[in-house]
Amino acid sequence: MDQQHYVGLDVSLETTSICVVDQSGAVIWRGKCSTEPEVISKTVRTHAPAAVSVGLETGQMSNWLTLQLRKLSLLVVCLDARHAKGALSMQLNKTDANDAHGRAQVVRTG
């Protein structure tokens, strides 16, 4: 089976936390970049060249960011905040990095 990557984004006004996992759920890369579509796209392509899906939660910037990232040919899934909250509530430590990891796992598992 070819390598597949799943990406979770935790978006804030200034920075976006990114987590990349493989098809087994293992973390491939974690990091941050500025919340600019071109920078996010470049970061995802660098660290997740086999990205199957990129997940971000609904919020104040989600419509704009989803549209911009799709224009840059990323396969973005906008996760309903209520559903994502349920999946992320099992985390012991709530951080931006852990939220990004949780979203990557959600898009990996559906």
Closest CA to 36 of 61, 8, 5: 61
Number of domains in the chain: 1
At 1, is the pLDDT very low, low, confident or very high (cuts 50, 70, 90)? low
CATH of the domain at 41: 3.30.420.40
Mean pLDDT score, 38-54: 97
Q: For residue 48, what are the domain limits?
A: 5-109
- Sign of the CA dihedral running 3, 88, 64, 77: positive
Task: State pTM to two decimals.
Answer: 0.86
pLDDT per position as a tens digit, 71-97: 999 999 999 876 555 555 555 567 777
